[in-house]
Amino acid sequence: MDPDHVYMGESRLNSSRSIKIYDTTLRDGSQAEDIAFSMEDKIRITQKLDELGIHYIEGGWPGSNPKDLQFFQEIRSLSLSNAKVVAFGSTCRAGLSPEEDLNLQSLINAGTQVVTIFGKSWDLHVLEALNISLEQNLEIVSQSIRFLKKRVPEVIFDAEHFFDGFKKNPAYALSVLKVAQDSQADWIVLCDTNGGTLPHDLQQAIREVRKTISRPLGIHVHNDSELAVANSLLAVQEGITQVHGTINGYGERCGNANLCSIIPNLKLKMGVDCISEVQLQKITEVSRFVAELANLPHPKYLPYVGNSAFAHKGGVHVSAIRKSPLTYEHIVPEQVGNRQRVLISDLSGESNILYKAAEFGIDLESKDPNIRTLLENLKQLEHEGFQFEGAEGSFEILMKKALGRHKKFFELLGFRVIVEKKEENHSFSEATIMVRVGDQIEHTAAVGNGPVNALDHAIRKALEKFYPELKEVKLFDFKVRILTTKDGTAARTRVLIESGDQQSKWGTVGVSENIIEASWQALVDSIDYKLLKEEDS
């Protein structure tokens, strides 16, 4: 860490305190809309969470579906370094003894060293959802915990809807916790299941709990009021020692408390021991890994781990961070495995250009006249609709062209694209292209499921005999944006392409009233960037 890069305003607790992190991505997180982890996904995520230093990994509910049951069978053969795998379920059903309850039996059969069960602590749920008496509910909680404690080394009790229950009927909510304590639960977790508790109400409830409950306490917060992270941190400040959450805040409705924010805040801002500094450097990688397996775009605006978390766009900001990152960054990005980025746009100043030049390995002096020329060219292109924030590959090419350092690898002599559809059959496209490489002319054709796909195949087919390294390039994303909606189908269009190879990814951009032309510009820049990268390596 840069010794001059010191951050102020940290609220540090007693550094001897140790907080246990409890991850429920594989159970609560998988209940989010659009997320469905396969059993293989769950195994791989478990390994990543273990590397991150997570203490408890809730694998799922073995009594609810065959996939979770298989997970617990498979995970037994996996050697973990840091984490305990947890099986999750509910207290026994009313009218059944624990020995007769299949849910509790499935938790035993999961073979984990830790089991978490939830029980009702809000009288509304007891009387209306379970349709039993308040005393019956207390007996169910007691019987379930005692049954599990005889068979499992560690039992965690989730007091579901605790904060809502405490607000409506504090005496009964506390009586549920007392029963769990008397039944020898190892942890009692206070749950804000509906996610609607405000910080001051949560704080007051925890203080009352600590007057009567001596067992270690945990916190499990949902994010329906955008307060899950804040409430979790406040709970730690009030003496809670186990914090529940999910990677990226995935979860039902508005999600769970986001561990990718909670952990850095605990470690870096509050001085609380939870994971090591080396493990913390992996948190951005884990965040993006889980998003990838969830088949969701990684949220770029996430604090700490998002791609935009340490991205600077305004010229004044960039000028300042070049002198001292402290001016616009609250931590060192590398502490969480992220990095500082400078964006290029029409808001850019000379500092942006100098920063990007250094990043690309281009030696530029602050008084170089090319900087002003390049900046004016950049702003004109952005006025026309180009966007270089997500197209750094195109910007590097633009910079090298302006400085006379760009090599022309090939020359387009012409292309033609045909789209054909016959009756009810699927349409297909054919692209014919002619390029010159050195003194050789290559004329070829290819088909694709669309005109851009056909053009992509054709240009690769034409160039790969000269540049076989292009076989490594894959197209990861293709975005089209209409820039002038009033012009209808004649509107100016911007195409952003994300390409990559085994080492890195890069973005390129094209703009035209013709979507094929815009796509061609972006495709050519993508190929040029790869060839420039290979030549420089």
Identity of the amino acid at 278:
V
For residue 376, being part of any structural domain is answered with: no
Helix, strand, coil percent values for the chain (each to nearest 5) = 45, 20, 35
**63: its two tokens:** 């009594």
Q: Are residues 280 and 420 in the same domain?
A: no
Whole-number pLDDT of residue 344: 62
Whole-number pLDDT of residue 337: 94
**Full residue range of the structural domain in which residue 481 is found:** 411-536
Q: Is residue 508 within a helix (H) or strand (E), and if so which, with residue range?
A: strand 505-512
Specify whether the CB–CB gap between 342 and 352 falls below 8 A. yes
Q: Are residues 427 and 278 in the same domain?
A: no
For residue 330, being part of any structural domain is answered with: no
Q: Are residues 282 and 420 in the same domain?
A: no
Instruction: End-to-end CA distance of the chain: give it in Å, rounded.
Output: 28
Q: Are residues 25 and 171 in the same domain?
A: yes
Neighbour-count burial of 410, counting CB atoms closer than 10 A to its CB (0-12 exposed, 13-18 middle, 19+ buried): buried
For residue 72, being part of any structural domain is answered with: yes
For residue 374, being part of any structural domain is answered with: no
Backbone dihedral region of 415: left (phi > 0), alpha (psi from -120 to 50 degrees) or beta? beta
Which residue, of 293, 327, 353, is where some domain finishes?
293
Whole-number pLDDT of residue 13: 57
Angstrom distance (rounded) from CA 73 to CA 92: 23
Q: What pTM did the predictor assign?
A: 0.72
Which residue, of 274, 293, 312, is where some domain finishes?
293
Specify whether the CB–CB gap between 245 and 287 falls below 8 A. no
> Count of domains in the chain?
2
Domain at 528, CATH number: 3.30.160.270
Angstrom distance (rounded) from CA 290 to CA 282: 12
Task: Report the SS3 class of residue 144.
Answer: helix
Specify whether the CB–CB gap between 166 and 199 falls below 8 A. no
List Cα–Cα distances, 44 to 33, 38, 286, in angstroms.
21, 10, 11
Alpha-carbon torsion, ordered 294, 296, 298, 301, to 10 deg: -120
Angstrom distance (rounded) from CA 138 to CA 219: 21
Domain at 88, CATH number: 3.20.20.70
Q: Pick from 103, 108, 106, 105: which is nearest to 119 by CA?
A: 103
For residue 313, being part of any structural domain is answered with: no
For residue 492, being part of any structural domain is answered with: yes
Q: Cβ neighbours of residue 415 under 8 Å, at least 6 residues apart?
A: 431, 432, 433, 434, 455, 458, 459, 520
Angstrom distance (rounded) from CA 264 to CA 287: 13
For residue 326, being part of any structural domain is answered with: no
Which residue, of 258, 293, 328, is where some domain finishes?
293
For residue 55, being part of any structural domain is answered with: yes
Per-residue pLDDT of the chain (537 residues; tens, 9 = 90+): 443 444 444 455 555 578 999 999 999 999 999 999 988 889 999 999 999 999 999 999 997 788 888 999 999 988 999 999 999 999 999 999 999 999 999 999 999 999 999 999 999 999 999 999 999 999 999 999 999 999 999 999 999 999 999 999 999 999 999 999 999 999 999 999 999 999 999 999 999 999 999 999 999 999 999 999 999 999 999 999 999 999 999 999 999 999 999 999 999 999 999 999 999 999 999 998 898 888 888 898 999 999 899 988 877 887 888 888 889 899 999 999 998 887 765 455 566 666 766 766 666 666 667 777 777 777 777 777 776 766 778 888 877 777 777 788 999 999 999 998 877 777 889 999 999 999 999 999 999 888 888 999 999 999 999 999 999 998 888 888 787 666 666 678 888 888 888 888 888 989 998 889 999 999 999 999 999 888 876
